[in-house]
Structure 1
Amino acid sequence: MSGELFPRPPRPRAEIAPGAVHVPDWLPEERQRELVDVCRDWARGPVPIRHTVLPNGGVMSVQTVCVGWHWQPYRYTRTAGDVNGARVAEFPDWLLRLGRAALTEAYGDPAAGAAYTPDTALINFYDGDARMGMHQDKDEKSEAPVVSLSVGDRCVFRFGGTENRGRPYTDVELSSGDLFVFGGPSRFAYHGVPKVYPGTADPATGMRGGRLNITLRETGLPG
């Protein structure tokens, strides 16, 4: 990647836990640029990107914009009553196809990929100081896998167990273009981002700084 003194050696794919698969460098540079461009459009609205306010009054350090369904702690709605009352952008067909291709790649199972029907995307933007505490993705009614795509600065992705936020956990370095899928026994694993490495983004992707994390999910909700 440009901005780094020496090229990084190829990284092998790995199963971090049962159902949790890391596929390095899955997204080509051109596709990363396309995602950056469309995420910038979504960040402008109809529901703009924002720092989510938690029920206890805390404010998340990451900025979030949603597609398909609007997430707020701890539920999904079609309109963003906690922001501006507008309906979120529609979930596009090309993003559905990308999610199916990602799941097929991670699991090596075309049938599982074809059956995957994500209907929402949460896009988180991390600046150099942003963090994400250990949490479970459990507001969905569906237990289908979560597909996670990274663009921009590298980060430490901490992946734990399903019982609590503590050890044991595995720290995985995610780079721009990486795919991470977790489902099956790991669907409700605790995970978080304790560190971002500023200045590691490749400007060729359209990201001069910061990290985009795009997570695709099936809500299992009607309509």
Structure 2
Amino acid sequence: MLDLFAEEEPWQEPLAPGAVVLRRFARARAGALISAIEAVAAVSPLRQMVTPGGYTMSVAMTNCGEVGWTTDRRGYLYSATDPLTRAPWPPMPAAFSALCHQAAVAAGYPDFQPDACLINRYAPGAKLSLHQDKDEPDLRAPIVSVSLGLPAVFQFGGLKRNDPLQRIMLEHGDVVVWGGPSRLFYHGILPLKAGQHPATGDCRYNLTFRQARKVE
């Protein structure tokens, strides 16, 4: 007899050359990932950073790994030290590293060696404006992005800010990987709609894995 409520298996959804959505890829490991987020945030708290233009970001952020991405009125940078605690960022949890490696392999990037993971927490109304991830010295490495909790609309465009946008609903456990021809495509998140998710309550978490240091 067909079970209409059975959990669907993960599947791949092509997005652009070099880019793919791995649907439900992280769902089975979400509990471990969320516990690891809480452990990281207990050491390096989530905070709303201020951009060089003086804008306070609506998304709360922290990092783990060898380096972390930060922004202030002076610019955008990667740093080995958390400017809030003045201590090194927490090491990348094993659950993060394992999931990222498996997702990168599934997307066709088996050599990806992330050394930074940016953790974003979206409350209702929080968004991420269209931008390129271009602060990394080696743009041959892809980006691996994991969605947990409330659904959000991901915008994925092209190499120019005004290129046509795809709008993709990302749900709990979905992973997006992009690199190669689409590595510098503009992308963002539309304002998060209010809701409740059994795993994260009234928010959404996003893990963004990057290779912030050049690997020879």
Q: Do they fold alike, i.e. is TM over 0.5? A: yes
Match of residue 140 from structure 1: 136
Match of residue 32 from structure 1: 30
Q: How does 1:43-192 map to 2 (within 5 A)?
A: 43-45=41-43, 47-68=44-65, 69-73=67-71, 74-81=76-83, 83-107=84-108, 112-113=109-110, 115-143=111-139, 144-163=141-160, 165-192=161-188
Q: Would you say the 8 A contact 1:154–1:200 is kept in 2?
A: no
How many Å separate the matches in 1 of 2:144 and 2:22? 11
- In structure 2, the CA distance between the partners of 1:199 and 1:9, relative to structure 1 (3 Å rule), is farther
Residue type at the aligned position of 2:206: N
How many Å separate the matches in 1 of 2:7 and 2:170? 13
Q: Would you say the 8 A contact 1:96–1:117 is kept in 2?
A: no
The alignment yields a C-alpha RMSD, in angstroms, of 2.2
**Worse-matched range after superposition: 13-22 or 176-185:** 13-22
- In structure 2, the CA distance between the partners of 1:200 and 1:180, relative to structure 1 (3 Å rule), is farther
Q: Would you say the 8 A contact 2:27–2:172 is kept in 1?
A: no
How far does residue 161 in structure 1 lie from its aligned partner after superposition? Answer: 0.6
Deviations 1:117-165, CA, capped at 9 Å, x for gaps: 11110010001110000001111112200001100000000001112x2
How many Å separate the matches in 2 of 1:16 and 1:173? 12
SS at match of 1:23: strand
Dislocated runs of 4+, deviation >6 Å = 6-11
* Identity %, equivalent residues: 35
* Aligned length in residues: 205
Query: Structure 2: any 5+ residue segments left out of the alignment?
Result: none
TM-score normalised per structure 1 = 0.85
